[in-house]
A and B are shown apart, each in its own frame.
Chain A
């Protein structure tokens, strides 16, 4: 498995495996959080911080975007970089529409099978069944986003925003100022893209872009021809700032623990505490959520050494593989979490919980490993022997490994 990891064999000293690891972790958490009723959902980031895995994913997506498309910009120019970005956005769009079709088919089937008249008074979940052609059109325009299908539209729009903004990576202060101005304006005016029902997008791209572009700037390091790439920008370590971050995160942790787990314990506290917490919105990426993820990133960035030995150990390998191939793993994760929701809808108990989580994680690691294997093969590099994934073939969202491979059976 190690040989499939980029920068894992010492050949790519420039790659920051920490970003890959935490992106893998964020993808796993997103899978878990997308299955309400999943017991592991009590242990993801959202239980201990004001932000959740979505923030981590968007920040690190920005980081990877700044790294990859920034390099494309410096090597081959704006046009090439933008075209590559558009192709990515196109792939994401197709994935989104595919997932939409799958989800809609299931909701329609379940709603029809369920005798809901006695019980669920609100059966508008099956919007597709009521106005199929309009629903289809709205879905194609990303204006109809069923529950749990809201991160992909955000990701698509963020990619589309980066394409014109690519040259601004070289003017970090200007990019940050513009991005921040849009964020503040959008929050002040309460502006959001609208969905079919007139509600706003669950993740407002115009607000979330700030986190994404911060990630882009952290990932970008300018390369001039004939020179070694400059070191990517970093926020220097300062004990006072680190202490502030830690204090903020601890305070938020205590507040969340009380609010989520023991709401009655909030009673002796001033009502303002709960009022502030109730006002922390996710759609518009509330400043406290933003501060929360940036504080976590700052502390982890300084406390986890870039060359930490455990990053090159066996335990980190599965998450590294997931994080290094986040596009297929993310899309598959959304699909797998959908299967997980179905499983928990029909069965309950420890057995199905364990099966959903083990199969889901194994499938995502397998998909990461397969993506790594394809990449090596496409580049003409010797593909390593042994695809570590046959254990999870049953839950895999992608077709089996290529028939030409004699390694697949091992």
Chain B
């Protein structure tokens, strides 16, 4: 073990430091919102004034427990995008249901992208697999196949990982699924919205804690959570668009 000690120290130094400076996305630290990859199709669509987005995932994309149809995070995101880019026409298609696996949502997304030219797919995955202890490999295979098809149709993709809750963390083996999502995103040069880390941060810093919200504050907290999530996704999108604009030519 002695020989490993320097390596462990190095690992400790590289751990993400908890930065409290950020003011975007409900106080989330900026490094949680870094998009590692450019989003060229989205950048072009925003420049041309019309953007079609497909959102797919399990039920959480529908914003369960929120107060109105405007409150789920995809609707909030649409409003934020339009506020930030006046005149932009945003076509937001949302597919989600309880218990949908990555294979199910892959079919929904690629089907939707085939139906009409789509510039951006926001793909939430992992929660259903973790809760039901489904094969990690199957999830990875479905994500790989889906992302390859999206790349073929020049649709930008952004992955969104699991929800955080203390109950889920205590009762489901979430780590293998989180790791797999991180690696799949890296393997395809696709940004990952680290929803699990963000929600954990919000909960532990008592900014938004749906799990421990009193019963009469549940709906308001769910609204706030969806708003924060929309802000986080928006931050990742803006970063990816900025990166795409900084590149002289779109990727072949």
Known contacts being A147-B133, A278-B140, is A261 close to B186, with CB within 8 Å? no
B117 CB, nearest partner CB in chain A, Å: 25
Residue of chain A at shortest CB distance from B16 = A261
Among B133, B166, B187, which residue has its beta carbon within 8 angstroms of that of A199? B133
Interface residues of B in 1-22 (CB under 8 A from A): 1, 3-4, 7-8, 10-12, 14-16
**By the criterion CB–CB under 8 Å, are A274 and B98 in contact?**
no
Known contacts being A121-B127, A275-B187, is A264 close to B34, with CB within 8 Å? yes
B203 CB, nearest partner CB in chain A, Å: 9
Contact with A along B202-229 (1 / 0, CB 8 A): 0010000011000100110010000000
Tell whether B53 is near chain A: CB-to-CB under 8 Å. Answer: no
**By the criterion CB–CB under 8 Å, are B11 and A42 in contact?**
yes
Tell whether B232 is near chain A: CB-to-CB under 8 Å. Answer: no
**By the criterion CB–CB under 8 Å, are A48 and B14 in contact?**
no
A396 CB, nearest partner CB in chain B, Å: 21
Q: Which residues of A contact B131 (CB under 8 A)?
A: 122-125
- Please report the C-alpha to C-alpha distance between residue A348 and residue B34 in the assembled complex, in whole angstroms: 27
Q: Which residues of A contact B138 (CB under 8 A)?
A: 199
Tell whether A43 is near chain B: CB-to-CB under 8 Å. Answer: yes
Interface residues of A in 197-213 (CB under 8 A from B): 197, 199-200, 202
Among B36, B132, B166, which residue has its beta carbon within 8 angstroms of that of A264? B36
Among A118, A147, A197, which residue has its beta carbon within 8 angstroms of that of B64? A118
**By the criterion CB–CB under 8 Å, are A121 and B60 in contact?**
yes
B139 CB, nearest partner CB in chain A, Å: 10
Residue of chain A at shortest CB distance from B203 = A348
Tell whether B93 is near chain A: CB-to-CB under 8 Å. Answer: no
Q: Which residues of A contact B186 (CB under 8 A)?
A: 259, 263, 266-267, 271, 274, 277-278
Interface residues of A in 82-125 (CB under 8 A from B): 107, 110-111, 114-125
B93 CB, nearest partner CB in chain A, Å: 19
**By the criterion CB–CB under 8 Å, are B172 and A344 in contact?**
no
**By the criterion CB–CB under 8 Å, are A281 and B136 in contact?**
yes
Tell whether A382 is near chain B: CB-to-CB under 8 Å. Answer: no
Q: How many residues of A contact B (CB 8 A)?
A: 58
Q: Which residues of B contact A146 (CB under 8 A)?
A: 133, 171
Known contacts being A118-B65, A348-B204, is A110 close to B171, with CB within 8 Å? yes
- Please report the C-alpha to C-alpha distance between residue A264 and residue B189 in the assembled complex, in whole angstroms: 9
**By the criterion CB–CB under 8 Å, are A279 and B140 in contact?**
yes
Tell whether A138 is near chain B: CB-to-CB under 8 Å. Answer: no
A10 CB, nearest partner CB in chain B, Å: 24
Among B133, B134, B165, which residue has its beta carbon within 8 angstroms of that of A120? B165
**By the criterion CB–CB under 8 Å, are B171 and A125 in contact?**
yes
Among A115, A263, A271, which residue has its beta carbon within 8 angstroms of that of B182? A263
Q: Which residues of A contact B184 (CB under 8 A)?
A: 274, 278
**By the criterion CB–CB under 8 Å, are A115 and B215 in contact?**
yes
Q: Which residues of B contact A390 (CB under 8 A)?
A: none
Residue of chain B at shortest CB distance from A253 = B7
Tell whether B176 is near chain A: CB-to-CB under 8 Å. Answer: yes
**By the criterion CB–CB under 8 Å, are A122 and B58 in contact?**
yes
**By the criterion CB–CB under 8 Å, are A200 and B135 in contact?**
yes
Among B127, B170, B188, which residue has its beta carbon within 8 angstroms of that of A341? B170
- Please report the C-alpha to C-alpha distance between residue A114 and residue B165 in the assembled complex, in whole angstroms: 11
- Please report the C-alpha to C-alpha distance between residue A145 and residue B132 in the assembled complex, in whole angstroms: 10
Tell whether A191 is near chain B: CB-to-CB under 8 Å. Answer: no
**By the criterion CB–CB under 8 Å, are A278 and B187 in contact?**
yes
Tell whether B169 is near chain A: CB-to-CB under 8 Å. Answer: yes
**By the criterion CB–CB under 8 Å, are B192 and A120 in contact?**
no
- Please report the C-alpha to C-alpha distance between residue A121 and residue B222 in the assembled complex, in whole angstroms: 13
Tell whether B142 is near chain A: CB-to-CB under 8 Å. Answer: no
Q: Which residues of A contact B16 (CB under 8 A)?
A: 261
B195 CB, nearest partner CB in chain A, Å: 13
**By the criterion CB–CB under 8 Å, are A197 and B133 in contact?**
yes
**By the criterion CB–CB under 8 Å, are B182 and A147 in contact?**
no
Tell whether A222 is near chain B: CB-to-CB under 8 Å. Answer: no
- Please report the C-alpha to C-alpha distance between residue A117 and residue B37 in the assembled complex, in whole angstroms: 35
- Please report the C-alpha to C-alpha distance between residue A115 and residue B165 in the assembled complex, in whole angstroms: 12
- Please report the C-alpha to C-alpha distance between residue A197 and residue B14 in the assembled complex, in whole angstroms: 39
Q: List 15 A-B contacts (CB under 8 A).
A: A42-B11, A43-B11, A48-B11, A114-B167, A118-B218, A122-B127, A146-B171, A199-B132, A261-B14, A274-B187, A278-B184, A278-B186, A282-B136, A345-B169, A348-B204
Ranked 3 nearest A-B pairs via Cβ:
A118-B65, A121-B59, A264-B36
